[in-house]
């Protein structure tokens, strides 16, 4: 790893440590300067134990957060595979059958993979050109991964069309395939009137 990469990693660890130290609270150990109320006597040992207890809890939370990030990254790859399959089925079931075909393109991943995007291309009406245009986009993203993010790490997915880029937003869950299929079907309904119809003969024979 180069010097730049090492510096970035150290900055991430420093930020994570700073987050652990934020919120250590000794308010209940602060004693008013003047009060008639009897108070217990403080010792270095008792203050040490209180700070240590809070830091142990924060370390435990940090470990749980790192586990959650690892889980989200694994789900990201699993969901990407589901989207690949679902969009291939969309092209085969609908675009090939009624619109003269289509294709799916997975766009190159950004340098820091926090999101992944797909485009579905098909023939638009009224042109008779053989050039396919983007008709549906799907984006899968991860949020809450940065050291200073306070929210829980999570996945989010979006399906859109040229006229409704944010047509459907949803959180991937256990029924990811069904959720993707539903979102893409809604996108298909949105752009159906803009597609060129070129039905396959086999779909009109019955």
Residue-level pLDDT at 1: 44
**pTM of the predicted model, to two decimals?**
0.75
Residue-level pLDDT at 42: 82
Banded model confidence at residue 112, pLDDT cuts 50, 70, 90: confident
- Which positions ≥6 away from 20 have C-beta within 8 Å? 55, 58, 59, 62
Task: Confirm if 138 and 170 have CB atoms less than 8 A apart.
Answer: no
| Average pLDDT across the chain, whole number | 84
Query: Each residue of 68-92: pLDDT tens digit?
Result: 889 999 999 999 999 999 999 999 9
Where are any strands of DSSP class E within 60-190?
102-106, 115-122, 133-143, 154-160, 168-170
Query: Each residue of 123-147: pLDDT tens digit?
Result: 998 766 778 999 999 999 998 887 6
**What percent of the chain is modeled with pLDDT above 90?**
49
Task: Sketch the domain layout of the chain as residue ranges.
Answer: 69-203
- Indicate the range of 146-155, 171-180, 190-199 predicted with least confidence: 146-155
- 67 or 145: which leads in pLDDT: 67
């Amino acid at each position: 790893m180069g010097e730049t990469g090492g510096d970035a990693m150290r900055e991430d660890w420093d930020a994570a440590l700073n987050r652990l130290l934020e919120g250590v609270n000794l308010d209940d150990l602060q004693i008013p300067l003047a009060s008639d109320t009897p108070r217990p006597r403080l010792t270095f040992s008792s203050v040490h134990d209180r700070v240590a207890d809070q830091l142990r809890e924060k370390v435990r939370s940090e470990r749980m957060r790192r586990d959650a990030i690892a889980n989200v990254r694994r789900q990201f790859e699993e969901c990407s595979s589901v989207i690949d399959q679902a969009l291939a089925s969309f092209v085969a079931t609908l675009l090939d059958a009624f619109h003269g075909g289509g294709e799916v393109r997975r766009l190159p991943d950004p340098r820091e993979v926090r999101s992944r995007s797909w485009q579905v291309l098909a023939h638009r009406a009224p042109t008779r050109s053989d050039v396919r245009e983007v008709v549906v986009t799907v984006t899968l993203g991860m949020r809450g991964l940065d050291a200073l993010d306070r929210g829980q790490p999570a996945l989010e997915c979006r399906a859109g069309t040229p006229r409704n880029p944010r047509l459907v937003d949803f959180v991937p869950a256990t029924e990811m395939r069904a959720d993707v299929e539903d979102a893409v079907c809604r996108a298909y309904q949105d752009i159906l009137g803009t597609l060129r119809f070129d039905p396959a003969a086999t779909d009109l024979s019955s």
